[in-house]
Chain A
């Protein structure tokens, strides 16, 4: 099993360009997440999808859109990139919480995005 995969690994954009970050998981998880990681700020949730067909905003959704294409795939789109969106982006997935307690989130390797 590959776990959570992300493409691309690195990307450089000019201000105003658009792009889509791809994420896929092969663990049959219902929930998927997009985070951004900035120095000194930890990980902040951008958007999440509790299950196929649902998405909701996280802490920092402005400037982003998401699509839950199917159960496996969850993409993040930057319509008009800005330098403030320079960051490392992580996708994660998890199963819904069961009676036994919280489930861990499994993370992809990240996409390093630079916006000039």
Chain B
């Protein structure tokens, strides 16, 4: 069965510093990978996704993620964080159900705090 591990429960970063959030997955086939962000009291918003091709994927809000098959990882990065990036971040692996729709398995999330 597929699974996603986000080893960091909480990360604190200074505004303007770089950020890397870790994600490791376990899945038997070629993975479809996603990063979602959840601002306080809000639903989830897609940051980026990977399914094939270039292993470095660009997303919204200046985020990028790199797929490394040999390490089963899909880490999220941002060169310089802004106070508005404070949120919870979820990595997910997607797989096709028997009905042909996308099902997602989520990691437990990483809460990002930004300090001035």
A residues lining the B interface (CB < 8 Å):
4, 30-31, 40-45, 48, 50-51, 54, 56, 58, 90, 92, 94, 96-97, 101-105, 107-110
Contact = CB atoms under 8 A, between A and B. Distances in A.
Contact of A42 (B46, B52, B107): B107
Contacts of B61: none
Contacts of B97: 48, 50, 56
Interface of B: 4, 9, 32, 34, 36, 41-46, 49, 51-52, 90, 94, 96-109
Given A104-B49, A105-B104, A51 B99 contact: yes
Contacts of A30: 101
Contacts of B100: 50, 96-97
B51 A102 contact: yes
Contacts of B51: 101-102
A92 B90 CA distance: 15
B108 A101 contact: no
B102 A103 contact: yes
Contact of B43 (A41, A58, A90): A90
A45 B90 CA distance: 14
Candidate in B9, B90, B106 with the most chain A CB atoms within 10 angstroms = B106
Given A40-B108, A41-B108, A102 B99 contact: no
